[in-house]
Amino acid sequence: MQVTLSITLTEIDHHLLNLLRNLLSQNAEIILRKAPVKLEEFDKHLPLTQVMQEMAQAGHNQAFLKDLQTGLATATVYQH
């Protein structure tokens, strides 16, 4: 049996490890692929602080969040 999983870095948790353990116990060949980042439509009416809190809760790296906040604060999307 062969199993292909597309995962993001934030999906790596104990549930995924248990799934991998179960698949390996059944002699499955496992292929892990990094899922591509999907861009979503951005609502400029959301406060930047709310956007950043949601991104942090999603498990994004703090260095990335800092760069993102700097970029969004100066982006034309927030220029009214």
Q: At what angle do helices 48-57 and 62-74 cross, to 10 degrees?
A: 160
Contact 26, 51 (CB under 8 A): no
pLDDT band at 2 (very low <50, low <70, confident <90, very high): very high
- Six-digit token pair at 17? 């490890």
Backbone angles phi, psi at 6, to 5 degrees: -100, 120
In this predicted structure, the answer to whether residue 11 has a pLDDT above a threshold of 90 is no
Per-residue pLDDT band at 22 (split at 50, 70, 90): very high
